[in-house]
Amino acid sequence: MDDSARLPRVAIVGGGPGGLFTAWHLERMMATPVSLTILEASHRLGGKVCTASFAAAPVTYEAGAAELYDYSPVDDDPLRQLVRHLGLPTVSIGGAAVFVAGRPIANLDDLASACGENARHALMSFDTRARSAMTAGEFYESGADHAADAAAGGPFVGLLDGITCADTRRYVDVMIHSDLATEAEETNCGYGLQNYLMNDPAYMRLYCIAGGNEQLMRAIAVRLAAAVRLGTAVTEVRDGPDGAIRLRLQTQGQATHEDFDVVILALPMDALERVRFVGASLADALRRHVEHHAHPAHYLRVSVLLDRPAPPLPGDDAYLMLDAFGGTCLYVESARDPCAAHGVLGWLLGGAAAVEMAGLPDEAVVAAVLASLPVPLAACREQVLETRVHRWTGAVSALPGGWTRLPADRRHRPSPAHPKLFVVGDYLYDSTLNGVLDSAEHVAGWVAAEQMPERLAAPAASVGKTTEASP
């Protein structure tokens, strides 16, 4: 008998960060071997962490996640540790300038001289309220069960409305809009505060991986023993025989089905909504899960290749904020490489503007973002070699955890009647890569601790129709 037939079979649906992190943790936590399979609908791994290349020159750009968050100023940062463990070089990035009406506001002095002392006082007052509402420790623990109360507090717009000065309100809106990826009335105070306080280095710092953030996904993927099946979409989930879970798979137009002992759905919310769940209790549980967590937020990434390096931003900044599109972030990606022969500019549009622009043809989107260039970078309009647009509509959550955050176990196992079906996602924590790593670790630990001993005690002979090699 083939060894793999006796091994517990685990399917991870989704080859994005959630799927890869889960596989990474599972392979390290399992006390006994398992047959682990990653099913990915597209033809690449990495999901939203996507480093693409231009055609006109061998230059890469970030088409998805622009940066990683470093929580190490506050406490242990598992993602930072993982990056270090994988030996990936990193580059710290930062940016202080917010361009409002064409004028850079990079500090309190700029705010006071542009908008008056009243604006400075209003910002200090809001900042004090924000810090009081969420300390660095609470910020770090957001997503944990005991931090559930911090996420409450009603819509974030209520907190912003407390800013008495219109100029300061505009400044704060522009500063956080692209990170929030939604409008202030669509999210809660907890998530809104996180996106404001992330600008404070005492709460968090930003970094990226030299050579592209997708290096992280690739580094994990090559170290996994799991079988990876690209171009394999899961279209249906239902109960299988002997407590197994049956997945209906679509590969190159052919539909098949396979049974697994454990299934972990590591899909973004929009992809999860497309999966059909068969069986009254399963369908109902997943419907409630989706209803609770479906608060779509939107990104649009526009990248432009220049025929020469873009002018460096003052203060060694790697990005700046523009008031165009309700607040957008403009990264000077080529600034990360001192030897760059070409310039790369990357816009990150968020929220309603991202949805609106996503409906336009690429040429119109590119024209609009180039028109938004501030004076210090205006000359770049004449240096464009190639442009790319990536639409990430509904790819993240505007309200991670929902209006009321459920306990972590409940978040990750939506149907108690189906104890072997788990979900992993950034939408369960804080819409960050760090959050999805926490989510993956939670599920991997759970599966390793509870599911496998039980499964090993009574192996189901009927499980496992495919012939994938065991790890």
Partner 1 sequence: MIVSDNDQCDEGRQLPAGLPAEAVLRRLLLPCGEELLLVAMPQEHDGDGQPPHGTPLLAEAATAWVAAATPAATVISVPLYGCHVVWAPGRAAVIGAPSRLEALATAVTDFADREADLRHLEQRCAELLESLDRDAPHAFAVDERTFDQRDALAARFREAVAVRGRLARAAPAVHAPPVHPPTLASQLGERLRDRTRLAERHEFAVDRAELAERLYEACGQRAAEFGIARRQQGLEWAIVVLLVIQTTLLIVDLLARGAAT
> In this chain, which of 153, 211, 374, 459 binds partner 1, going by CB under 8 A?
374
| Contact between residue 115 and residue 165 where contact means Cβ atoms under 8 Å apart | yes
As beta bridge partners, residue 196 has none
Min CB(90)–partner 1 separation in Å: 16
Give the phi and the psi of residue 244 in degrees, each rounded to 5.
-75, 170
Q: Return the number of the residue (236 or 317) whose C-beta is nearest partner 1.
A: 317
Q: What mask, x for binding partner 1 by CB under 8 A, covers residues 104 to 143?
A: x-xxxxx--xx--------xx--x----------------
Min CB(243)–partner 1 separation in Å: 53
> In this chain, which of 375, 417, 449, 461 binds partner 1, going by CB under 8 A?
375
Q: Return the number of the residue (33 or 376) whose C-beta is nearest partner 1.
A: 376
Q: Return the number of the residue (234 or 306) whose C-beta is nearest partner 1.
A: 306
Angle at 132 between CA 131 and CA 134, to 5 degrees: 65
Segment near partner 1 (CB under 8 A), from 64-72, 308-316, 359-367, 432-440?
308-316
Min CB(382)–partner 1 separation in Å: 16
* Distant-in-sequence, close-in-space partners of 297: CB < 8 Å, separation ≥ 6: 180, 181, 182, 186, 350, 351, 394, 395, 396, 397, 398, 431
Min CB(345)–partner 1 separation in Å: 15
Min CB(157)–partner 1 separation in Å: 21
Min CB(198)–partner 1 separation in Å: 11
Q: Which of residues 65-104 bind partner 1 (CB under 8 A)?
A: 73, 96-97, 99, 102-104
Q: Give the 3-state secondary structure of residue 27.
A: helix
Picking from 198, 196, 187, 195, the residue whose alpha carbon sits closest to that of residue 154 is 187
Q: Return the number of the residue (104 or 309) whose C-beta is nearest partner 1.
A: 104
Gap between the Cα atoms of 38 and 74, Å rounded? 34
Query: Is 202 one of the binding residues for partner 1 (CB under 8 A)?
Result: yes
User: How far, CA to CA in Å, does 37 sit from each of 12, 26, 140, 262, 422?
Assistant: 6, 11, 32, 11, 15
Min CB(93)–partner 1 separation in Å: 13
| Contact between residue 213 and residue 382 where contact means Cβ atoms under 8 Å apart | no
Q: Return the number of the residue (108 or 233) whose C-beta is nearest partner 1.
A: 108
Q: Return the number of the residue (108 or 460) whose C-beta is nearest partner 1.
A: 108
Segment near partner 1 (CB under 8 A), from 63-71, 180-188, 199-207, 217-225?
199-207
User: How far, CA to CA in Å, does 450 sit from each of 23, 330, 394, 453?
Assistant: 17, 46, 33, 6
Gap between the Cα atoms of 19 and 22, Å rounded? 5
Min CB(262)–partner 1 separation in Å: 44
Q: Return the number of the residue (73 or 243) whose C-beta is nearest partner 1.
A: 73
Q: Return the number of the residue (200 or 239) whose C-beta is nearest partner 1.
A: 200
Gap between the Cα atoms of 393 and 381, Å rounded? 26
Count of residues that interact with partner 1, criterion CB under 8 A: 28
- The tokens describing 234, both together, are 């899961």
Q: Return the number of the residue (141 or 317) whose C-beta is nearest partner 1.
A: 317
Q: Return the number of the residue (208 or 330) whose C-beta is nearest partner 1.
A: 330
Gap between the Cα atoms of 163 and 126, Å rounded? 6
Q: Give the 3-state secondary structure of residue 336.
A: helix
For residue 463, which amino acid is it?
A: V
Q: What region, left, alpha or beta, does residue 316 occupy, with left being phi > 0 and alpha being psi -120 to 50 degrees?
A: left
Min CB(394)–partner 1 separation in Å: 32
> In this chain, which of 89, 201, 241, 445 binds partner 1, going by CB under 8 A?
201
Min CB(341)–partner 1 separation in Å: 22
Q: How many CA atoms lie within 13 A of 79 on its CB side?
A: 30
User: Would strands 296-306 and 254-260 be described as parallel, antiparallel, or unpaired?
Assistant: unpaired
Gap between the Cα atoms of 276 and 127, Å rounded? 45
Q: Return the number of the residue (334 or 415) whose C-beta is nearest partner 1.
A: 334
Q: What mask, x for binding partner 1 by CB under 8 A, covers residues 311 to 340?
A: -x-xxx------------------------
Q: Tokens 């924590």 identify what position?
A: 429
Query: Is 356 one of the binding residues for partner 1 (CB under 8 A)?
Result: no
Binding site for partner 1 (CB under 8 A): 73, 96-97, 99, 102-104, 106-110, 113-114, 123-124, 127, 199-202, 312, 314-316, 374-376
